[in-house]
Each structure stands twice: as C-alpha cells, then as structure tokens.
Amino acid sequence: MICLAFEFTSDRRSVAISDGCQRVLSQVFHDRGRTTPVFHMIEQALAEAQVARASIERLAISIGPGSYTGIRLAIAAAQGWHLATGVDVVAVDTFEALLRQTQRPVVAGPRVLCVNAQRQEFAVREWNGQSWAGPLHLESADLLLQRITGGQPVFGPDLGTWIRGLPSASGELTARADALEAFPQASDVALLGANNDPVPPETLAPVYLREVSFVKARPHRVIPGITD
C-alpha cells in the first residue's frame, strides 16, 4: 500500500512516501521560511521513490499540535487529492511521530515531549518508557524550563532555539540546547499511518488545546442603517 505523508507541524516540514508499514521510499525536507512549496515537494518525493501519482493508495496527515497554518496546508492538500482520486486519508498523532524521533538516539526510559503552543505555553506529553503517562496538556514555559534545568529529558521541535533566546538561560543550558531538539518527520507519519483507520477527509482538523472563543469587535464608526 503506497502511502504519501505530510508533516507540516513545525518549521522543518517534510513529505514522504512509504510502501506501507515496512519501508520508506523517499523523504523530502523544507525548512527555508514559512512558504512551503507543497506540490514541488510532492513531485520530488514521487520522483525519488520512482512512484507514479496514480500509485498512491493512502494519504497520512500529521494533525498536531503544532503550526496551525502548516497543518491546515497539509489538510487542504490531502482533501484536494482525495476529491480528485478518492484515496483513503488517515490522521496521525504528531506526538507519536515525535516519539519515534526521540527513540532513535537511544534515549532510554521516561522523557517529556513538547511543542511550543505560543503565549508562553507548551503542549506537553510524558512517556514513561513503555507508554504515555497521562494526557496531552498545556504547560507553562516556566514549568517546562524547570523540568529541563532539573535534569529531565525533554525534547521538542525548535526547543534549542527557544532556550537560546531566553535571557535567563545559563551557559551550560545553552551549550546543550541543540541536543534537546527533535522534529517529527513525514517518514514516521507514513509508517504510522499504515495502521490507522481512514477518516472522512472533511472531518480533519488541527489538534488545538485552547478553547476557541471569538469576540465581535465594535464597528469603528457609525454607518446609518448598517451599524446602528
């Protein structure tokens, strides 16, 4: 089952193709700014894998948490592909893909995975070495920094960049900041997606941990018959 996967939740975005749950055929990265050449990446991945568009049997989307714009871009690409071809679409938990990246450098035992949620908060989930320990949740940046300085193994995309930007970061912490970075990759999304059940593409939505609320702004001027 040839699977095309999208991982756009961080600034290091990727597209990959796998032959199902066994082997990754190709993977293409883009990390030069927020403009993502989606179709160029797809064409490059197809060419490197020597796979024709018509051979794609499944689309796997990393749905977050992470870059809201990036995830929406991946979802839009998958929905358009599905409308044109009818292929199955599956959603993949970004933290499952991130976990696989932290296991490769042989990090044994418990660890904390995080994604910057902005507003001085991080989306956090803990791995006890065998399974997830508790649900995904929001955690303050101060608490996460306490975990790091306290010696807990913490990993996440662009975590090193965030630490180096902290005025209070010590030289010792800054020196090991890069070792804390781990990025989810489309290759893992492709392999994980082989085991997930298809979902209606129109139901795909980014994982967003904050309650969505909107406040209607008052008009800045009175227009008779319209705003009065």
Phi, psi torsion values for 13, nearest 5 degrees: -95, 150
Per-residue pLDDT of the chain (228 residues; tens, 9 = 90+): 899 999 999 999 999 999 976 899 999 999 876 688 999 999 999 999 999 999 999 999 999 999 999 999 999 999 999 999 999 999 999 999 999 999 866 677 899 999 999 999 999 999 999 999 999 999 999 999 999 999 999 999 999 999 999 998 888 899 888 889 999 999 999 999 989 999 999 999 999 887 655 566 666 666 666 655
Q: Cα 37 from chain centroid?
A: 17
Looking at the fold, whether 49 and 83 belong to one and the same domain comes out as yes
**Predicted local confidence at residue 6, as pLDDT:** 98
Looking at the fold, whether 64 and 81 belong to one and the same domain comes out as yes
Structure-token pair, residue 198: 């298809």
Looking at the fold, whether 112 and 171 belong to one and the same domain comes out as yes
**Predicted local confidence at residue 220, as pLDDT:** 63
Burial of 70 (0-12, 13-18, 19+ CB in 10 A): buried
- The reply to whether 107 falls in a domain is yes
For residue 64, give every residue at least 6 positions away whose Cβ sits within 8 Å of its Cβ, in sequence order, or none.
9, 71, 94, 115, 206, 207, 208
CA distance 88 to 105: 33
Looking at the fold, whether 115 and 166 belong to one and the same domain comes out as yes
Structure-token pair, residue 160: 């090193």
pTM, two decimal places: 0.89
- The reply to whether 44 falls in a domain is yes
**Number of domains into which the chain is organized:** 2
Looking at the fold, whether 76 and 143 belong to one and the same domain comes out as no
- The reply to whether 127 falls in a domain is yes
3-state secondary structure of 68: helix
Range of the domain at 149: 96-180
Looking at the fold, whether 89 and 192 belong to one and the same domain comes out as yes
